[in-house]
Structure 1
Amino acid sequence: MGTVTLITGGARSGKSMQALKLALPYQRRFFVATGQALDEEMTARIEFHQTTRPPDFQTVEEPVQVVAALERLGDRADLVVLDCLTLWISNLMQRREMDGTILAEADKLAAALKDASFASIVVTDEVGAGIVPTDHAASRRFRDLLGWTNQKVAAVAEQALLMVAGYPLKLK
């Protein structure tokens, strides 16, 4: 079974760059991207990530069926970078999935990562460190679902890093 590394932190803290740095020693590298180009800003973000990713990564774009995408990689990968849980949870919410369904998918993801034959680096955002968004129920729901999902993945991870200003702080 492969190892699992969770990388969390705030926006533009260096999470994705740290994931790519940790991926360097591996040969057969895959990148599972959950982002969708739904507007100009997101299109630009995706293009930035594509240009900074080494060309030998094979990219799988999968905004919702992340567990199935990982399972399809099977013995083809030495390492998978999953970037990111934040957008994955947002995508599930946009499909109007119920909280129980989303958390069940998070459980399936944690199990799939733990049982995978390849190493995994999972990127996510830390969104629970700020104030509670009292005026927006959807924002509170998102914050809670992502926080619970992050905990599930961190529980199966051998290593968890918090990125701050481009530097990793070891949590686990």
Structure 2
Amino acid sequence: MRHTILVTGGVRSGKSAIAEERTLGFGAPATYIATAQALDDEMAERIARHQARRGPEWRTVSEPLDLPAAIAASDGTPRLVDCLTLWLTNLMLAERDWRAETERLTATLARQSAPVVLVSNEVGLGIVPDNALARRFRDAAGLMNQDVAKVADEVILAVAGLPLKVK
């Protein structure tokens, strides 16, 4: 069954927990596609906390850059991508064309036959960043989220741990 869900919200809004619950609602086992890279001790601890929260029904695939390929390599299980904004960061730091990669992602999502749930941050709700890189990232994240939302069957905004259905 094809179904794509985008779960977005602010930092610590409960997005990941909501997305995990929705993904397992399609059945277990499920595949967790992680885009984070443990480049320092603090990020390694964050990743470990996420992994500890998940149970044995999850299989983890780490893919910081070629997210469309990781999604396309489906074995038919529901998949959770956490998170698109870290993926975008990885692309920008690797000086990859995030627009082209986003197009690849949306094309891949449109071809899926198994459910995909994607987590992304809403980063444009605060003040205008004071440096050019942060402004480029904020703008890119907003545009990427719009593109993914267009192909998603559902869009959920996480607010204070609660899901608000937007689409």
- Normalising by structure 1, we get a TM-score of 0.93
Partner Cα distance (1:110, 1:163) in 2 = 22
Identity of aligned residues (%): 46
How much does 1:69 deviate?
1.0
The secondary structure found in structure 2 opposite 1:124 is strand
Name the amino acid aligned to 2:119. Answer: V
Distance 1:54 1:114 in 2: 29
Deviation track 1:17-43 (CA, whole Å, cap 9, x = no partner) reads: 001111223134101000000111111
1:116 aligns with 2:112: yes
The residue number in structure 2 matching 1:68 is 69
Q: Which amino acid aligns with 1:8?
A: T
Taking the TM superposition and a 5 Å limit, the aligned residue runs for 1:49-128 are: 49-73=50-74, 76-97=75-96, 101-128=97-124
Aligned residue type for 1:17:
A
* Residue 114 (structure 1) shift: 1.7
1:109 aligned partner, one-letter code: L
Partner Cα separation in structure 2 for residue 6 and residue 154 of structure 1: 6
- Report which stretch shifted further, 7-16 or 107-116: 107-116
**Matching residue of 2:133:** 138
| Structure 1 Cα separation of the partners of residues 110 and 121 of structure 2 | 20
Partner amino acid for 2:77?
A: D
Q: State the TM-score, normalized to the length of structure 2.
A: 0.96
What amino acid maps onto 2:37 in structure 1? Q
State the Cα deviation string for residues 92-142 of structure 1 (Å, max 9, x = none).
Answer: 011022xxx211110110111121111010000000111111x21000010
In the alignment, structure 2 segments of 5+ residues that lack a partner are none
SS in 1 for 2:64: coil
The whole-number CA distance in structure 1 between the counterparts of 2:123 and 2:159 is 13
RMSD: 1.1
Q: Is the 8 A contact 2:34 2:60 kept in 1?
A: yes
Shift in Å, 1:47: 0.5
- Confirm or deny: 8 A CA contact 1:127 1:143 kept in the other structure: yes
How many aligned residue pairs are there?
A: 166
Counterpart residue number, 2:15: 15
Q: Contact 1:28/1:77 (CA < 8 Å) preserved in 2?
A: no
Matched residue type, 1:14: G
Conservation of the 8 A alpha-carbon contact between 2:4 and 2:154: yes
